[in-house]
Copies of this chain bind each other. A is one copy, B any other.
Amino acid sequence: MKYAIGILAAALCAAQVTPDARLRASRDTYSPVMEVLRSKRAPVTEAQLELFKAAPLEAIWGAVQGLGYTNCHYSGLKSTRPTERLVGRALTIRYLPRRPDLDEAMATLAKEGGWPRGYNVRAAEDAKPGDVLVVDLGGGVPDGIFFGDISALGAKLAGARGAVLYGSTRDLIELREMAGFPVLAVGFDPRPATQIGVDWNVPIRLGGVTVLPGDVVVADDEAVLVFPPQLAGQVATRVTRIVDQENYERELVRQKQHRFRDVYPLSPELRKKYEAGRKQP
């Protein structure tokens, strides 16, 4: 009996709501998760991004996981610009394999929303300065192509700083020449796209990591890090501290005045000395 009431309560709670008909044409695809989180996600600042651009990836990783985000990185992608660090705000896109009814639905939505059908084309129109395109194509090559150099050029001119593809790209040679717009991908292939963009700015998968729209993205050819923008201040503070201490350790290592084990990690005594030194003006 109680059980039946429970079921009823559940039925009441999860009753289907008739959504606003215009909702489906919303720029950002409706996402319950983002509705819940929206108010808590103060955006990252340019100054913070600058700091992340220069800091060691491991220091940022350490700071982020210290804040409870232990599952924040994905390694194994290849970069078109291996020496350039990519830093920005995630614009997330979800692709799915094509099928006629899905293609038709997406065409309807594009018409209603007034956006172009290809989400690579849309990215070239809708990207904001500081965006990093993060695209979930299921991780495949060659069936995971997102874009080519013309769409990339469009996105770059719109202010995007690069792309992280859980998938692949064509026009490798041309993208390599595109300074200031690194593209990280599982692989490269000359064929055009075989999947279709279905969601815009929703939570997506990048290998073993979840990326939310607006997340901070820090990437080079070792790994991609992502974390919530409201943590950027705390992360920056921790990174500064980690880098400072590591530089101190490196200096001590170079001086060869101490056993390595006392320097790395710092022995209680050396830590005291280090902390004392930091407090001075």
Contacts and interface: CB of A to CB of B under 8 A. Distances in A.
A264 B116 CA distance: 10
A118 B70 CA distance: 21
A276 interface: no
Interface string A238-281: 00000000100110011011111111100000000000000000
B102 A171 contact: no
B102 A203 contact: yes
Contacts of A253: 124, 150, 153-154, 157
A44 interface: no
A262 B125 CA distance: 11
A222 interface: yes
Contacts of A37: 101, 105
A230 to B, nearest CB: 9
A28 B10 contact: no
A69 B140 contact: no
Contact of A61 (B75, B190, B264): B190
Interface in A106-144: 106, 108-109, 112-116, 121-122, 124-125, 138-143
A24 B35 contact: yes
Contact of A125 (B29, B207, B209, B259): B259
B14 A115 contact: yes
B223 A140 contact: no
Nearest to A12: B114
B100 A68 contact: yes
Contacts of A30: 19, 23, 30, 32
Given A99-B210, A153-B250, A259 B6 contact: yes
Contacts of A6: 258-259, 262
Interface in A12-47: 12-20, 22-30, 32-33, 35-37, 40
Interface string A169-210: 011111000000000000111110000001000011101111
A67 to B, nearest CB: 8
A64 to B, nearest CB: 10
Nearest to A7: B259
12 contacts: A13-B112, A14-B115, A33-B198, A56-B171, A96-B205, A96-B210, A97-B210, A99-B210, A121-B261, A150-B253, A153-B254, A172-B222
> 6 smallest A-B Cβ distances: which pairs?
A13-B114, A116-B261, A24-B32, A14-B27, A172-B222, A36-B105
